[in-house]
Copies of this chain bind each other. A is one copy, B any other.
């Protein structure tokens, strides 16, 4: 909300506009021509631009605020006069530590111009020109940078201001505000000193609130503040208005390198060498009586996208008062009743701005004694639903084309539209909060193990699975549950990743919960309240966006966008609202534009079928390990515990028909589309009990007289297979080479399934993917054997199998030797999860909770590299592999199957490097489709998604 107010009786908006169309403003003196040197003879850059000189394309030089103020000025809109000191001046100052040569002369000149235009000098004793000095960088850094208002007031001019405004209290309050802001910002005095001094005066006069202080009390505060300056800065507050201005400008420049700003930029990945611009603007005041006021206006409803008048207005007030929340604002429409003329002017202005910016604009304005002044505008933030509606509205109004409309919405917004939500106004009690790890709203009876989840779910109950943390054994329970709640782990913990993959709601890391699976309950620790015990069967509700955990049932609202994607809602039918129509329209355009194909990660026929409804053009990753869990675990254990090869063969033979059935269902669901099946990836001991738990059980049983013999035998096996770092152990192709029957069985099952499908008239398109390959020799060995199996099945069935054989590129070495590996691979699929782990050398299971928060806070990451691809490191490996793989084999098929396949920024990267497809979880398929379209459209010009 704007905080500048202009006190001037003569200047009118109409006066300010005139020169732009018809001539120069009264008293306006031309500054030097744009681009020329300032005053000295040297080739000095133009460091200062009048608002009449810049424009919205000059954000680099003038900052966002300065560029938009100039743009509005150019449009003839009522902006208080002022000028912008460029980011180039800032950079020069910070680089040398000295005021750049020529800057002072240019400021002199522009200040003189401003004074001439306003008809009075800065701080002129009897009628002072006051200015605000405000930062404005290229990228918004809210709250990071410094501002000083009311520059120009001093012991003399405060009296002039009182007299001219006819409001002595206002004048002294303004003076103390200058002292306070100048003291903290320019002189570096701690804010609490000013706060304490004000408190002392207030309590002395028994004034419960600032508003109860009159002019004499504010004079006392001014004296106290001047004392503070003397005491803490060792100098007097500068009475020279020009010195105030220069010091304030310098302070804004310096604030670019303040610790919090540096940290913010590190977190937001904003380059540290851009510098900030400084805007020097004539003050206007909304608190000069009931004919004055301040407000914020939106050209459309940022919540829904509906056209109309949205915003707030506060009569006789400054922006600070709105922020402080001491008085209630009025709906903007009510301004018509108070000041019909200014209101009409505002509406006209809004129309101009929206037409000009071709988008929802967010406007800050002030009315000073009946005159409207615009203090800032920018393209406004909006909700996801509003974004889709507005984009389509603008197309219909002819303001933008459909390509631009697609660029105006984002995959993240689409994702938000797809999750069910809790209805507002619940009476349920929020008892804890974790991380919103997988959005959505889930309600169900709390269960504390997978078996209970499955049992209750089969009995028709909705359940929420609550665990300390999850592991692959919990998969059945996670599938059966409506949502997953954990007390440990972050956004990339097993629970979070798997839940996101399944589109299952998940809250993780709710550390106020003590989960006791054995006792089938959890204890919720609450600050200042008794711990709460939640037993199995009690209903809880979790919000996967906010991370909130409620006791009791909160009503859930379904997403119509998902109904549409599922095919249950016809976008042309009557039931579809304008949001669904907008989504349909923009998705259609994105699909037509995109170059990347979008596949889904799906491990069974059901997921594949849903993914296909969501627009998936194949399966990019079928993880076969999920096919080894549940009831099949017995066979897997037999395989591992086998004493000889015959027993191994038997165990594998028992698994073969089951695997074949899995594959048949998957191929049926994706008939005619490619299906990539990854051979078994995890280490074998993931299918065995936990070493520590089993050791304890056996030891305790032994201490009590004798352990179960089967347990003891199992413990030996677990010991034998135990690894210090399973992620870096015997898994993937390594396991396939050490236990060759395993991969052979999988390839045979897949080949037989494809043959059966073909015989039934289907069109299976099989791609066999070998995981964890680091060298071409590994791939060659498995490939040879796999081809033998394929030929055997071809001979046995008479069906020709045109299966592709390729590899996952998930080790740095695979990327670095891609040229060699491509010699043996028909396709690469980048496994960017593991590739990220190996490239950074951290396991997401271990490090996320341990140090990601600290890393994000300190700006080492802007975003977790597991969420969005690390372009500099992991991305470079991807680029190397793409380039050298294609050079070795021009028809090499390239895709990605990590979590990043559904991440918007990553999709743009994959588009740029030229992959053939991305693959992601079924629920992210529409997101990837949209972003792939945006990436293609961004190439043709227009804004990128970033």
Contact = CB atoms under 8 A, between A and B. Distances in A.
Interface in A721-745: 723-730, 734, 737-738
A774 B840 contact: yes
A811 interface: yes
Interface stretch (A578-586, A660-668, A848-856): A848-856
Interface stretch (A235-243, A458-466, A696-704, A923-931): A696-704
Contacts of A724: 725-727, 843, 845-846
A820 interface: yes
Nearest to A696: B699
A516 to B, nearest CB: 15
Interface string A298-322: 0000000000000000000000000
A873 interface: yes
B820 A872 contact: yes
Interface string A807-836: 000111100110010000000000000100
A850 B772 contact: no
Task: State which size class the interface on A falls in.
Answer: 35 or more
A854 B737 contact: yes
A872 B774 contact: no
Interface stretch (A155-163, A347-355, A436-444, A775-783): A775-783
A159 to B, nearest CB: 49
Contact of A846 (B266, B728, B877): B728
A841 interface: yes
A713 interface: no
A695 interface: yes
Given A781-B858, A838-B838, A854-B738, A730 B692 contact: no
Contacts of A545: none
A770 to B, nearest CB: 13
Contact of A841 (B704, B834, B858): B834
A837 interface: yes
A420 B125 CA distance: 97
A839 B737 CA distance: 20
A842 interface: yes
Given A692-B691, A695-B692, A695-B695, A728 B873 contact: no
A514 to B, nearest CB: 13
A876 interface: yes
A95 interface: no
A873 B816 contact: yes
B725 A851 contact: no
Contact of A811 (B692, B700, B727, B839): B839
A839 B816 contact: yes
Contact of A842 (B266, B729, B874): B729
Given A724-B845, A817-B873, A843-B725, A838 B812 contact: yes
A450 to B, nearest CB: 19
A860 interface: yes
Contacts of A700: 699-700, 703
A876 to B, nearest CB: 5
Scoring A738, A816, A847 by chain B CB atoms within 10 A of each residue's CB, the highest score goes to: A816
Nearest to A735: B851
A604 B729 CA distance: 33
Contacts of A778: 860
A728 B876 contact: no
A691 B696 CA distance: 11
B854 A725 contact: no
A859 interface: yes
Nearest to A875: B816
Given A816-B877, A858-B737, A837 B699 contact: no
Contact of A812 (B692, B723, B839): B839
Contacts of A858: 737, 777, 781
A847 B727 CA distance: 11
Contact of A855 (B737, B842, B845, B855): B737
A752 interface: no
Nearest to A728: B843
Nearest to A778: B860
Contacts of A855: 734, 737
Contacts of A364: none
A691 to B, nearest CB: 6
Nearest to A779: B860
A733 to B, nearest CB: 9
A266 B777 CA distance: 9
Interface in A844-901: 845-847, 850-851, 854-855, 858-860, 870, 872-874, 876-877
Nearest to A849: B730
A860 B738 contact: no
Scoring A692, A699, A859 by chain B CB atoms within 10 A of each residue's CB, the highest score goes to: A692
Contacts of A837: 728
B841 A810 contact: yes
Nearest to A737: B854
A837 B700 CA distance: 37
A784 to B, nearest CB: 11
Contacts of A842: 728-729, 734, 774
A725 B811 contact: no
A928 to B, nearest CB: 25
A688 to B, nearest CB: 14
17 contacts: A691-B692, A700-B700, A723-B845, A723-B850, A724-B846, A725-B728, A728-B846, A730-B846, A730-B851, A734-B851, A775-B860, A775-B873, A812-B873, A813-B874, A816-B872, A817-B873, A834-B841
Given A703-B704, A737-B851, A816-B839, 17 more contacts: A691-B692, A695-B696, A700-B700, A724-B725, A724-B726, A724-B727, A728-B841, A730-B846, A734-B851, A738-B854, A772-B841, A777-B860, A810-B841, A812-B838, A812-B841, A813-B840, A816-B872
Q: Lowest 8 CB-CB distances: which A-B pairs, in order? A: A728-B843, A813-B873, A725-B843, A812-B812, A811-B841, A729-B846, A730-B850, A696-B699
